[in-house]
Amino acid sequence: MRKFGAALLVSVFVFSNQGNAREPKLSALLLQARYVALGFETAGGFLGEWETHAFVSANILPEDRQALANLSGALRKWNRYAITIDPRQAELLIAVRAGRLASANGGIHVETGSIDPTGRTRRMPGVGIGPAIGAEAGPPSDYLAVYAAHEGEEGPRIWRKTEDDGLGGKDPPLLENFKSDVEAAAKQSKKP
C-alpha cells in the first residue's frame, strides 16, 4: 500500500508540474544568424526559391509563390536577416507552404532520348510522349518553418507554426509570430 501511495504522489507531482513547464528555448542560431535563404516546404523537403526545380515544379503553386513574396518583403523590412539566393551561403532556411489539404497536377512529359556515351549509336531509345501526373497533401493552414542550414541543405527544424491565412498580406501573421519569438529570446538572452 505504501508503494502505491508513493507512486500516486510522484505521479501527481509530475503531472501537476507539466502545466508549469517552460517553453523550450529558441536555438541560439536564430539569434546569431545573419543570412537566410527562402524557399518552399515540399514533400521532398526544403526547395530554394531560386533552384531550377522550383521554377518547373507543378507542386509549387501560385499561392506558394505569393506567400514567399509576402514573406520576403516583410523580412527585408524587419532587417534582422539578410536574404541570400544561394542556400549554401545561408545559416537559416525559411520555408513556406500555402495551406491546402491536397493538390493534383497533370501535364505532358516529352522525352527526346539521349546521346549514347559509347559513340556506337547516335540516340538511345526513349523518344516519346506520355502523361505526367502528381499529387500532394498537407496541412490546410499556411505553414512557416525555419531550419538550420548545413551546406545548403536543411538541418534540424528550429521553429515552425501554422495558421489560417498566416502568410497573407504585407506583414504575414506567421512572420509576426516568428519575429515576436526571436525578439523575446533576444531580450531574454540580454538579461543577467
- The number of C-alpha atoms within 13 Å of 164 and in the hemisphere containing its C-beta is 0
Residue 19 DSSP SS3: coil
Domain 29-101+138-192 belongs to what topology? Answer: Rossmann fold (3.40.50)
Phi and psi of 148, rounded to 5°?
-70, 140
* For the chain, domain boundaries: 29-101+138-192, 102-135
* Total residues found in the chain within this entry: 192
pTM, two decimal places: 0.71
Give CA–CA dist 42/109, Å, rounded: 21
- Helix axis angle, 62-78 relative to 173-190, nearest 10°? 30
Q: What is the pLDDT of residues 56-106, one digit of tens each?
A: 777 788 999 999 999 999 999 999 999 999 999 999 999 999 998 666 656
pLDDT at position 115 over 70: no
